[in-house]
Amino acid sequence: MSEYQLKLEGPERRGRKRILIGGLVLVALALAAWLFLGPKKAAGPAPQRTEQVPTVSVVVPGRSTVDRTISATGSLAARREMPVGVAGEGGMVTRVLVEPGSWVRAGQVLATVDRQVQAQTGASLAAQVEVARSDQQLAQAELDRSAQLVERGFISKADIQRRTAARDVAAARVKVARAALAEQRARTGRLDIRAPAAGLVLTRQVEPGQIVSSGSGVLFRLAQGGQMEMRAALAETDLAGLRPGARATVTPVGSQQRFQGEVWQVSPVIDQQTRQGIARVALRYDPALRPGGFAGATIVGGQAVAPLLPDSALQSDGKGSFVYVLDGADKVVRRDVKLGQVSDAGVTIAGGLDGTERVVLSAGGFLAPGQKVKPVIRKAG
């Protein structure tokens, strides 16, 4: 190649290089502009996010009249228990005529005691009565004859007076003999152990052949009329508002049966050690009511007017029991409450609510104070 050609190619190559370099610079500038402007356009203004408000069920509880119930435990017993022992001299028991669980009438013989000696004594006294009666008849006959003779002057009036006195003495002896016989018969009758009143035999502690006396203690125990009761032990705060006539339901331990009764006596004193008193609940006889057994009772001790809520509305923490209520802006507010009695109908609120609040029924555990909600009113009760 000639020197002339080299001179012609040099400027041409240089021009092409300049064009290539310029194109590369333009591409780089365009890429930089896209990187710089592209994210801004993509970001743009952020879309408005809508806050979701939870829907909750609320109730206005109002104020309901609820029974004031008291739960208690205690023992079953005969309402009027009658211990029966030996009323007379005693002796050897010959027969026992009743068993526990037997019904007896007033005066019925429960057991007999040997009376051979008393029978002989009674026969002797009866004979003495006949002797005294004969003496009286003889004295009366002599007095009658003397009265006829005194009119004829054969007997003086002093003799008449002596015979009259003898007749009166004989009559008095008859009365004494009869009284002694009656006393002996009464003593003999007391050898029979009898029921003082109609009722149910609870226990028997005597057997034939046993020697008994007035110091032998209780031989039988009877429940007068078969009437039973529960002796419920109550705290003094529960006794304060309890009155005779209050309804009660008694359930013996180990049984599903429930027995209706009513309080017939409220203890006038409080035990200083346990701070409890006894409420006695009268019950009708039933074989399932066994004296000495243990039982539980629910006593209706009056009525109270207070808000009533279901258990689902109540919550508790270290500070105590509380509910969530809604303010005027439908925001959740914590309200501490004092619980009353618990029943199948719900929980009575003894303090903290007046019944006009909108109370969250459920899902309270997922809410927080100050949170806004959408309330749905439910019917109370």
3-class state of residue 316 by DSSP? strand
Among all chains, which residue has been given the structure tokens 């003779």? 149
Higher per-residue pLDDT: 304 or 254: 254
The residue written with tokens 């228990």 in the block is 81
| pLDDT value of position 105 | 94
Structure-token pair, residue 336 = 């501490």
What is the pLDDT, as a whole number, of residue 205?
93
Q: Please, which pLDDT band fits residue 254 given cuts at 50, 70 and 90? A: confident
Higher-pLDDT residue of 214 and 304 is 214
Among 368, 323, 325, CA closest to 349 = 323
% of the chain exceeding 70 in pLDDT: 84
pLDDT in tens, 321-372: 999 999 988 899 999 998 877 777 788 888 888 888 899 988 777 888 888 9
Distance linking the first and last C-alpha atoms of the chain: 114
Q: Where is pLDDT greater, at 333 or 26?
A: 333
Nearest to 311 by CA among 339, 352, 335: 339
- The mean pLDDT value of the chain amounts to 82
Q: Strands across the sheet with 338-343, in order?
A: 308-309, 346-351, 338-343
| Length, in residues, of the chain | 381
Residue 94 has pLDDT above 50, yes or no: yes
pLDDT at 313 (0 to 100): 87
Output the DSSP codes for 186-248.
Answer: HHHHTTSEE-SSSEEEEEE---TT-EE-TTS--SEEEEETT-EEEEEEEEHHHHHT--TT-EE
Helix 157-189 / helix 116-150 crossing angle, nearest 10 deg = 160
* CA–CA gap between residue 22 and residue 37 (Å, rounded): 22
The confidence band for 150, taking pLDDT boundaries of 50, 70 and 90, is low
pLDDT digits (tens, 9 = 90+) for 161-197: 787 888 888 888 888 888 988 887 877 777 889 999 9
